[in-house]
Structure 1
Amino acid sequence: MTSPANTLSGTVPGTAMEVPHSGGSQAPHHPVPPGAVDCHHHIFDPRFPRANSRSTIWGTVDDYRRLKQRLGLSRSVVVSPQSYGFDNRCLVDALDALGEQARGVVAVPPDVSDAELDRLHLHGVRGVRLYLIGDAPTPPERFIDYARRIERLGWHIQVIAVEGEALMAAEPALQALPCTLVIDHFGYVPQPEGAAHPTMAALLRLLANGKTYVKLSAPYITSRLGPQGYADLDAVAVALIKAAPERVLWGSDWPHTLVTTDPKPDDAAMLDRLVRWAPQESVRHRILVDNPGRLYWKD
């Protein structure tokens, strides 16, 4: 549950509070607009054992509701984590608990039935997450098979590259997709080269095709400077927003399973960083409200 909207300023103030797996306790300095969406978070519930041991923390729906309240967020997108494999029971349970204010992105095998896809759609799923490298990568040439399966549902493919070079190698296959494409975590543009790295050029070419979105999420994955604002990603974020402000999204990546030391990232500080990247309030409204609304809540 989020705080009431501030009708005078058109913003939703957050609430100072402790949140599991989130550093700090203060609300964002810059309140978000009503309807703001966290486009990337996970849920880990002990009622649903993991398929593998990639993550050991638990972050439940109740825990996440506290983060929404702290940040002033209205809606969110639950993303399948690698540790649950193709088991989407926890994700579907979270979508049911969060209701119409949530959408989901699942991991499914290539031979998933149409009936299962239809069932997931009814629970609020709107995309499939595929990995370019990692424990269970999908060859880029197989992405088209998923695109054909999900076309009738209007879903998108969300891709996690893990390494920027993997995104470069997959670019021809990604450009050929007939469906919408969403790229996680700044496209994994490597640091310290950042915006000067060839991965950035590939990412901008994908954005130029009019069908690709990119998430400003999990800056700690590629940052070399660390949690004092992750300032080395500023140039990457600004360039992405300049290139396609209508197809940029923001996500928390809570509960930050890739960060194995304390303190955990400060979600309020990461959300405030968006003001540096997009000083214009109208652009931030597009990133936090309009763009995710069009992508996830079009039906």
Structure 2
Amino acid sequence: MTRDGETTISQDQAAEGFADRWCVQDAPAAVAIDSHAHVFIQGLPLARERRHTPDYNASVDDYAQQLAANRISHGVLVQPSFLGTDNAFLLAALKRYPSRFRGVVVVEPDIDEAQLEALARLGVVGVRLNLISCALPQLHSPLWQRFMARINALDWHIEVQCQAEDLPYLLGALLDGGCKVVIDHFGRPDPQRAEADPGFQYLLTQGDTGRVWVKLSGAYRCAQMCSDPCGRAFGERAAKLLLQAFSSSRLLWGSDWPHTQHQQWVDYAATTSALLDWVADPCERDQVMMHTPQKLFKFNP
């Protein structure tokens, strides 16, 4: 089968490649939760319009090994932009490891009720709006207002990846719609402006809403490559400001594995060690890595 000139494989074939290193019946208690990672392999159907096409595999087995090596017990799988609304590969991972993983999917706002309920039964806890280089949705339209009401009824969150300059419109509309909102990758400020970006400064004013969470993830996507290719310096400065604005009860840590388009500069171990600098207090770090994501992403105690 082909799509957009690419050779594809079925989701059943992809699932056959999953390893059994993690036994579902032997799922551990939550010790640390990675709130942002992606899984994919070559040959999956790709979105026709995409910014990036990876030329390597990032399988569930690969991800499991990274978690085990870094003493992370659970993970949240986020649908990557280049797979569009075809969430089948992510859902296959949730079916195989229902206790260890939760999912954040990409769907159309007119998705029917039965499909949403089926996703919830598989461990989906949110939907993602990936708006980098995309037109912003008309969130005040009747279609989106109905969609947000349905997401709220499921007690899901809406996860947003956008340039920081778009946060005032998007956050304002989503909060007006009563949504819980998770902001990806420090809010994606312009690397030239970093934490001085007006959009990031706006984000810092939203801590008292009680309905916004921010992921300390993908710092390298917000930093200047020439001076801070891994984003550690930016992450340390930005995390301090976010802790002051949101407290550890509204912050999440994510590896952003497999660090697409940045894998030559950063690896999983580097993302975990960076958090030691970003959140120095062990109690606050425990909140960011376990208690906050455990509640938000509905991991059973």
> Which structure ranks higher in relative contact order (CA pairs < 8 Å, sequence separation ≥ 6)?
1
Kept in 2: contact 1:127–1:155 (CA 8 A): yes
Contact in 1 for aligned 2:216/2:251 (Cα 8 Å): yes
1:7 is matched with none
Paired AA for residue 167 in structure 1: L
Separation of aligned partners in 2, 1:175 and 1:297: 21
Point out 4+ residue stretches in structure 1 off by more than 6 angstroms: none
Question: Are 1:64 and 2:72 an aligned pair?
Answer: no
- Number of residue pairs aligned between Structure 1 and Structure 2: 264
Of 22, 34, 47, the match for 1:38: 34
Q: In structure 2, how many angstroms separate the alpha carbons of the residues matched to 1:136 and 1:193?
A: 23
1: CA distance, partners of 2:299 / 2:61: 27
Offset at 1:45? 2.9
Q: Residue 194 of structure 2 contacts residue 222 of structure 2 at CA under 8 Å; is this kept in 1?
A: no
Whether contact under 8 Å (2:221, 2:231) holds in the other structure is no
CA distance in 2, matches of 1:223, 1:192: 8
Q: What is the CA-CA distance between 1:157 and the residue it aligns to?
A: 0.5
Distance in 1 (CA, whole Å) between partners of 2:190 and 2:204 is 14
Deviation at residue 203 of structure 1 after TM alignment: 0.6
SS at the partner of 2:98? helix
Deviation at 1:226, TM superposition (A): 2.9
Q: How far is the alpha carbon of 1:37 from its aligned partner?
A: 0.5
The structural deviation recorded for 1:205 is 2.0
Q: Name structure 1 gaps, 5 residues minimum.
A: 1-32
Structure 2 unaligned regions, length at least 5: 1-28
**TM score, norm. by length of structure 2:** 0.81
Is residue 183–residue 215 contact of structure 1 (8 Å, CA) maintained in 2? yes
2:56 is the counterpart of 1:55: no
CA RMSD across the alignment: 2.1
- Say which of 236, 254, 268 aligns to 2:238: 236
Superposed, 1:128-277 pairs within 5 Å as 128-135=127-134, 137-141=136-140, 143-161=144-162, 163-224=163-224, 225-227=227-229, 230-244=232-246, 245-259=248-262, 263-277=264-278
Q: Deviations over 1:206-259 (max 9, x none)?
A: 222110000011111111133455312321111112222101001111112232
* Alignment partners' CA distance in 1, 2:192 and 2:274: 19
How many angstroms does 1:167 deviate by?
1.4
